[in-house]
């Protein structure tokens, strides 16, 4: 019986390196790595050893025959990835083996390479993948700094509380917090002065600012950025416990990415299903008294180009409260034709919605495509959103889930257009580096940060070997700089 990769795949390729028959693809050295939504196991090649399941940091891999409920679809999804591929042409020893690529050694360190002192700013996935790389593959001494009192970054404060398997990767990262060559400094603001006491500094500070919609009414009370809602239900210390008002019966969410789906799912969930998760206790109390009965997800384009991933849509559709607003004939045509992602909506009910009326009894999530937001309406607070076709959707709250952008880092250059720190392979200048979303923009999931951080660490080591790192001052005043004096 073959294994199958399921919904919570983080695509960091930990499973690839332990597979004895090379049956998990795409691998990091294949051109489509990072472009697929997840990794896939070839059922005809898998020898059922289970090594991948043991290595998976997010518990996403199971025997295909054991999958139940919504996860059953993943047996076929894994097989579909290999449909039409000529596996025999890739075989080496036998048909059960995919061809291995020749080993490549991209880093070569001299035998007398002296230990480096490296500061990593940010304890989210990008920062922790950089820490892992440095501690496991070099003799560097690492100082990990985060302005928040709790480590984890996006894992702790960005992953929805009803995704506990995804959050488990935080346990993998946390094992490095006690490493003898790591010093953990939480609740500490870090600035460019760190360069004076370290050979190199890696900034992995993410992208924390919401992208603007650029429409009238965007700043009305009742209009919230997605980051505020996500931070609210995850207990982010920067977000007040009463930051999200749930007194409206209908909430409109601008966007159909995975974050938008997370918000819609949490706001319409039975609160008791969240009890016992990592949801903030204050948020859970508000959810228990919530009046929200409907969340409408607004997409600028059609269902064939939706931003969400298949795994997140499958999980949402399995609840049975998802419908599609069939206001535009192009929607039904795309679904029936199976165009792109539209095929995933086959079987999801299509309904006609009267947006001027209150939501029906019960709770539901509505996908409305071809509906670019034109204006948030209301005088003193949000009353609705006007969309393409001059249709006004009555909504007492609007959540803007149009993406994120980075904010300037003191002492570093900044590109206002991209919201990133200009860099080359993570190198800002010798001694100063970036990783994660502040490096490449807000794209890719958790696992994408592994290759990103690896590239950055590679640039750092290249500079160190070439003697390009600037001379630093003695470390005796480091504690004072970190506010620990």
Share of the chain above pLDDT 90, in %: 85
Average pLDDT on 317-344 reads 95
Last residue of a domain, one of 354, 376, 402: 402
Task: Note whether 294 and 322 are same-domain residues.
Answer: yes
Residues near 132 by beta carbon (within 8 Å), at least 6 away in sequence: 173, 176
The whole-angstrom separation of Cα 258 and Cα 188 is: 31
Average pLDDT on 303-329 reads 94
Residue with tokens 């100082």: 143
Does any domain span residue 100? no
Q: Quickly state the pLDDT bin for 472 (edges 50, 70, 90).
A: low
Last residue of a domain, one of 349, 383, 402: 402
Task: Note whether 84 and 131 are same-domain residues.
Answer: no
**Strands 373-377 and 384-387, bridge-based pairing:** antiparallel
**Domain count within the chain:** 3
User: Which CATH number covers residue 386?
Assistant: 3.50.50.60
Lookup: tokens for 285: 């109390």
Does any domain span residue 383? yes
On average, the pLDDT of the chain sits at 92
Q: In the predicted model, is pLDDT for residue 238 greater than 90?
A: yes
Please tell me the predicted confidence (pLDDT) of residue 445: 87
Please tell me the predicted confidence (pLDDT) of residue 94: 53
pTM above 0.85, yes or no: yes
Last residue of a domain, one of 71, 90, 109: 90
Task: Note whether 368 and 466 are same-domain residues.
Answer: no
Task: Note whether 341 and 410 are same-domain residues.
Answer: no
Please tell me the predicted confidence (pLDDT) of residue 482: 52
Does any domain span residue 320? yes
Q: In the predicted model, is pLDDT for residue 479 greater than 60?
A: no
User: Which CATH number covers residue 42?
Assistant: 3.30.70.20
Task: Note whether 289 and 424 are same-domain residues.
Answer: no
Does any domain span residue 96? no
Average pLDDT on 66-70 reads 91
Task: Note whether 252 and 385 are same-domain residues.
Answer: yes
Please tell me the predicted confidence (pLDDT) of residue 364: 97
Task: Note whether 292 and 305 are same-domain residues.
Answer: yes
Q: Quickly state the pLDDT bin for 190 (edges 50, 70, 90).
A: confident
Please tell me the predicted confidence (pLDDT) of residue 129: 97
3-state secondary structure of 228: helix
**Distance between the two ends of the chain, CA-based, in angstroms?**
59
Q: Which residue has the higher pLDDT, 449 or 96?
A: 449
Task: Note whether 154 and 285 are same-domain residues.
Answer: no
Q: What is the pLDDT of residues 192-211, one digit of tens each?
A: 779 889 999 999 999 989 99
3-state secondary structure of 82: helix
Please tell me the predicted confidence (pLDDT) of residue 478: 47
User: Which CATH number covers residue 440?
Assistant: 3.40.50.720
* Host domain of residue 413: 117-208+406-481
Average pLDDT on 163-170 reads 93
CA nearest to 244, candidates 274, 221, 276? 221
Does any domain span residue 42? yes
Kindly report the three-state secondary structure assignment for every residue of 342-363.
HHHHCCCCEECCCCCCCCCCCC
Task: Note whether 239 and 364 are same-domain residues.
Answer: yes
Task: Note whether 307 and 397 are same-domain residues.
Answer: yes
Q: Tell me which of 19-23, 81-85, 182-186, 213-217 is least confident.
A: 81-85
Please tell me the predicted confidence (pLDDT) of residue 444: 86
Q: Quickly state the pLDDT bin for 454 (edges 50, 70, 90).
A: very high
Q: In the predicted model, is pLDDT for residue 483 greater than 60?
A: no
Residue with tokens 């990769």: 5
Task: Note whether 395 and 424 are same-domain residues.
Answer: no
CA nearest to 21, candidates 48, 54, 46? 46
Please tell me the predicted confidence (pLDDT) of residue 477: 47
Please tell me the predicted confidence (pLDDT) of residue 31: 87
Please tell me the predicted confidence (pLDDT) of residue 108: 87
Please tell me the predicted confidence (pLDDT) of residue 485: 40
Q: What is the pLDDT of residues 379-424, one digit of tens each?
A: 999 999 999 999 999 999 999 999 999 999 999 999 999 999 999 9
Please tell me the predicted confidence (pLDDT) of residue 473: 52
Average pLDDT on 350-376 reads 96
Does any domain span residue 183? yes
Please tell me the predicted confidence (pLDDT) of residue 90: 58
Please tell me the predicted confidence (pLDDT) of residue 149: 96
Does any domain span residue 53? yes
Residues near 391 by beta carbon (within 8 Å), at least 6 away in sequence: 327, 355, 371
Task: Note whether 35 and 66 are same-domain residues.
Answer: yes
Q: Which residue has the higher pLDDT, 97 or 305?
A: 305
Q: In the predicted model, is pLDDT for residue 286 greater than 90?
A: yes
Q: What is the pLDDT of residues 79-136, one digit of tens each?
A: 999 987 665 455 554 556 777 778 878 888 998 999 999 999 999 999 999 999 999 9
């Amino acid at each position: 019986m073959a294994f199958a990769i399921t919904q919570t795949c983080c695509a960091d390729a930990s499973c690839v390196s332990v597979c004895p028959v090379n049956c998990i693809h795409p691998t990091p050295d294949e051109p489509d790595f990072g472009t697929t939504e997840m990794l896939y196991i070839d059922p005809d090649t898998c020898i059922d050893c289970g090594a991948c399941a043991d290595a998976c940091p997010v518990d996403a891999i199971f025997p295909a025959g054991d999958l139940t409920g919504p996860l059953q679809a993943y047996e076929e999804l894994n097989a579909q990835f290999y449909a039409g591929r000529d596996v025999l042409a890739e075989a080496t020893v036998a048909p059960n083996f995919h061809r291995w690529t020749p080993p490549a050694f991209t880093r070569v360190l001299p035998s007398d390479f002296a230990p480096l002192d490296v500061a990593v700013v940010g304890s989210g996935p990008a920062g922790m993948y950089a820490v892992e790389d440095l501690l496991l593959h070099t003799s560097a001494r690492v100082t990990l700094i985060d302005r928040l009192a709790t480590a984890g970054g996006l894992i702790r404060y960005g992953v929805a509380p009803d995704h506990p398997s995804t959050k488990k990767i935080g346990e993998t990262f946390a094992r490095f917090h006690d490493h003898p060559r790591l010093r953990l400094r939480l609740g500490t603001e870090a600035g460019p002065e760190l360069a004076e006491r370290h050979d190199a500094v890696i900034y992995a500070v993410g992208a924390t600012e919401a992208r603007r919609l650029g429409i009238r009414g965007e700043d009305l009370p009742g209009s919230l950025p997605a980051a505020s809602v996500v931070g609210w239900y995850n207990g982010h210390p920067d977000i007040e416990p009463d930051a999200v008002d749930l007194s409206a019966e209908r909430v409109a969410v601008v966007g159909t990415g995975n974050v938008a789906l997370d918000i819609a799912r949490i706001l319409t969930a039975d609160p008791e299903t969240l009890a016992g998760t990592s949801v903030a206790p204050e948020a859970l109390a508000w959810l228990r008294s919530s009046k929200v009965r409907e969340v409408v997800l607004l997409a600028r384009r059609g269902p064939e180009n939706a931003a969400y991933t298949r795994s997140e849509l499958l999980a949402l559709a399995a609840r049975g409260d998802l419908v599609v607003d069939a206001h535009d004939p192009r929607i039904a045509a795309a679904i029936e034709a199976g165009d792109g992602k539209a095929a995933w909506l086959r079987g999801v009910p299509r309904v006609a919605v009267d947006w001027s009326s209150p939501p029906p009894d019960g709770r539901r999530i509505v996908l409305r495509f071809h509906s670019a937001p034109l204006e948030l309406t209301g005088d003193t607070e949000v009353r609705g959103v006007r969309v393409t076709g001059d249709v006004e959707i009555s909504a007492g709250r609007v959540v803007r889930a149009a993406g994120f952008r980075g904010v300037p880092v003191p002492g570093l250059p900044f590109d206002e257009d991209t919201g990133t720190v200009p860099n080359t392979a993570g190198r800002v200048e010798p001694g100063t580096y970036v990783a994660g979303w502040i490096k490449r923009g807000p794209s890719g999931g958790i696992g994408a940060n592994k290759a990103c951080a690896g590239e950055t660490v590679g640039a750092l080591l290249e500079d160190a070997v070439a003697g390009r790192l600037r001379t630093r001052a003695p470390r005796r005043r480091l504690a004072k700089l970190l506010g620990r004096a």
